[in-house]
Amino acid sequence: MDGSGAFDVVGLDERAEAIYRLVLAEGTVTPDAVATALPVAADEAQPELERLREAGLINRVSGRDHYSAVDPRVALRALTERTADRLDRVRADIPALALLFERLAAESGADPEVRVVDEPSLIGMWYVRLEHEVASEFLTFDRPPYVLAEENPVEPLVLARGVDWRVVYAAEGLERPGAWGELRHAVSVGERARIAPSLPTKLAIADRRKAIVATSLDLDRPVALVTEAPPLVDLLVELFESTWERSVEVPAVDDLAAAPRAGGPGADDLALLAMLDVGAKDDVIARELGMSPRTLRRRTADLLDRLGAANRFQAGAQAVRRGWI
């Protein structure tokens, strides 16, 4: 489809945009002409044209299946203004909706600077709220169990705003199938990630101003503390930074894609070193890196030999000394 995707903000997907551009280019089209020119099924062309007509972007010739464009300087301006009106109505509802949210969140009777939240849905809402509110820096500990779904659709939107997003992952989280691939994808879109052998709790801090920290990791009865109290937030930031310094950096996509220097680590070496250094189990490493257990043993032995290390701990120390990780 020849569409930019920019029209989705006014409710037109890429296919609708491509059809609209075709009408503008041709002046007048029929459903059959649309189906011929674009990858649109013949029985879908007319409904798509009618969608554009309902949006006020094109006209239909009376009694015929011919469609012609309305001047976009008029039609698109009117459409965007209608969209802006709807957005304004949503914005106008925010204070009332926020009042409902605050009333529910404050049912515990806690001080507004320190709230105890013990409902999974509320814990999830507070975490997402911090994601939406953050302006410059988001710090988090990621470890099982998870209250929210594992995929985070908000993170790419926050990264796109230029927020520095740093995560320390617990090694046990890599035991979930596909976790390493998901972690690598997150790094590829701008997340900065490290892995720790273990983490004491789950944590998220927005702009070093507001934080949510789990005080119970029982998935059936989770409890979290939401705080804006400066001493508590400062303490949690210090915990994050000290853990970050001790954790193993996840190789950046560019590092994995680059050709290895003479005698230096290749892409597989960097990934293997990161997982060995945090004590990931052999079966987990083999599965996530797509190796057989036999190949993993051979690659590990070869890596130890190249580093002059007798065990995994020494391998990690030697790799740091050489600047590999």
**Mean pLDDT within 188-196:** 89
CA distance 2 to 18: 5
Lowest mean pLDDT among 112-121, 217-226, 248-257, 296-305: 248-257
Q: What is the reported pLDDT for 304?
A: 81
Lowest mean pLDDT among 27-31, 94-98, 254-258, 287-291: 254-258
Q: What is the reported pLDDT for 105?
A: 57
**Mean pLDDT within 70-78:** 83
Q: What is the reported pLDDT for 139?
A: 97
Query: Sorting pLDDT into bands at 50, 70 and 90, what band is 294?
Result: confident
Q: CB of 223 within 8 A of CB of 213?
A: no
Q: What is the reported pLDDT for 111?
A: 52
Mind listing the pLDDT tens digit for each residue in 115-172? 888 888 888 889 989 999 999 999 999 998 876 666 678 888 899 999 999 999 988 8
Mind listing the pLDDT tens digit for each residue in 4-17? 566 777 778 888 88
Q: What is the reported pLDDT for 259?
A: 46
Domains located in the chain, CATH noted: 1-105 (1.10.10.10), 111-249 (3.30.870.10), 253-321 (1.10.10.10)
How large a percentage of the chain has pLDDT more than 70? 79
What does each C-alpha distance from 243 to 145, 195, 252, 255, 260 come to in angstroms? Answer: 19, 10, 19, 23, 29
Task: Give the global pTM.
Answer: 0.58
CA distance 89 to 72: 25
Q: Following DSSP, what letter does each residue of 203-246 receive, concatenated? A: EEEETTTEEEEEEE--TTS-EEEEE--HHHHHHHHHHHHHHHHH
**Mean pLDDT within 85-106:** 69
Query: 47 vs 97, which has greater pLDDT?
Result: 47
Q: What is the reported pLDDT for 235?
A: 92
CA distance 111 to 115: 6
Q: Where are the alpha helices (DSSP H) in 134-290?
A: 155-160, 179-188, 230-246, 253-257, 267-277, 282-288
Q: What is the reported pLDDT for 258?
A: 47
Query: 170 vs 112, which has greater pLDDT?
Result: 170
What does each C-alpha distance from 74 to 56, 69, 79, 92, 293 come to in angstroms? Answer: 10, 11, 9, 27, 65
**Peptide bond preceding 153: is omega within 30 degrees of 0, i.e. cis?**
no
**212's tokens:** 């949510």
Residue with tokens 């949510």: 212
How large a percentage of the chain has pLDDT more than 90? 19
Query: Sorting pLDDT into bands at 50, 70 and 90, what band is 54?
Result: confident
| Mean pLDDT rounded to a whole number for the chain | 81
**Mean pLDDT within 300-324:** 72
Q: Which of 234, 177, 240, 170 is nearest to 208 (CA)?
A: 234
CA distance 185 to 170: 17
Query: 53 vs 63, which has greater pLDDT?
Result: 53
Q: CB of 177 within 8 A of CB of 204?
A: no
Q: What is the reported pLDDT for 211?
A: 95
Query: Sorting pLDDT into bands at 50, 70 and 90, what band is 233?
Result: very high
Mind listing the pLDDT tens digit for each residue in 33-45? 999 999 888 888 9
